[in-house]
Amino acid sequence: MTPATDTDAGAAMFARYAYPPNELGYCGPGSGHDLLDFASAANDVAALPAELDMVERARAFDGAWPYLEFLAGIAGAASVMDPRVVEAYWVGNDLLHASDPATFAHTARTAFAGQLGADWAALAPGESPGPLPHHSFHVFTIYPWIGVLRRTGADAALNVLDNCRIRWGRVDWIDGDAAQVQCQPLTWNGTLLRLGAPRGERVRVADGELSLNAGVHPGSWVSLHWDWVCDELNPDQLDSLRDFTSRQLTITNRASGRS
């Protein structure tokens, strides 16, 4: 064990958000157990296992890596695991506003040129608000599910979009490995995506003795990815996640109008 650093904190945050889709086989190689182990170790001691090189682990996430590189360049960060960079991508912070939407749009088109079904209409130049390197952009613009939803209206497509985005909610109760969290689900009226009224969702907070964030308790505002609670959100993080999600929904709905 070695003393934890700021980069370790960023690595732990990356592990917390990357684990749920990795466990399901959607993003990144492997089963994700190493990410869960890494994040859980960060809950209990001010040190992290040195066996896992999180930069190399993140490089294998084809979706997240281009954003981390782009944000690290804006921040002048020595590592993509700088906490400002990791937080900007998954949750959102002021670093996103330092990015130029036109430059980012070019970067995204280059990095994901081969992505079938991407919503390139959302990258129309000169419009406000413009795209930013936030996880919600990847979910609603690069992944093909928004196109599937527009064509079919299928609940399955809406559910993927809702679970894949980083969403927020307030914890009602925790019982063992499970919790109920009040979240606003995505809704679709055939034309527009909106956030609906809060409803209770049963999600995971632990897998036996392992958890992504051990500090979560009833009343906590938390972030969720797929069926896991990832982190406890402070007020600034909660505001950022709400604001950048709303911004991206505005962009996506604008593109839906064109479609």
Split at pLDDT 50, 70, 90, the class of 126 is confident
- CB-CB contact of 47 with 4 (8 Å): yes
Q: How far apart are CA 198 and CA 200, in angstroms?
A: 7
Enumerate domains of the chain plus CATH numbers. Answer: 166-235 (2.30.30)
pLDDT exceeds cutoff 60 at 122: yes
- CB-CB contact of 209 with 153 (8 Å): no
199-210 residue pLDDT tens? 999 999 999 999
22-81 residue pLDDT tens? 999 999 888 889 999 999 988 764 445 555 789 999 999 999 999 999 999 999 999 999
In this predicted structure, which of 6-20, 67-81, 222-236 has the lowest mean pLDDT? 6-20
Split at pLDDT 50, 70, 90, the class of 2 is very low
Q: Return the pLDDT at 20.
A: 97
- CB-CB contact of 193 with 164 (8 Å): no
pLDDT exceeds cutoff 60 at 1: no
Q: How far apart are CA 86 and CA 78, in angstroms?
A: 13
pLDDT exceeds cutoff 50 at 196: yes
pLDDT exceeds cutoff 80 at 17: yes
Read off the DSSP letter of residue 129: S
Q: Are strands 221-225 and 47-48 parallel, antiparallel or unpaired?
A: unpaired
Q: Return the pLDDT at 7.
A: 74
**What is the pTM for the complete model shown?**
0.93
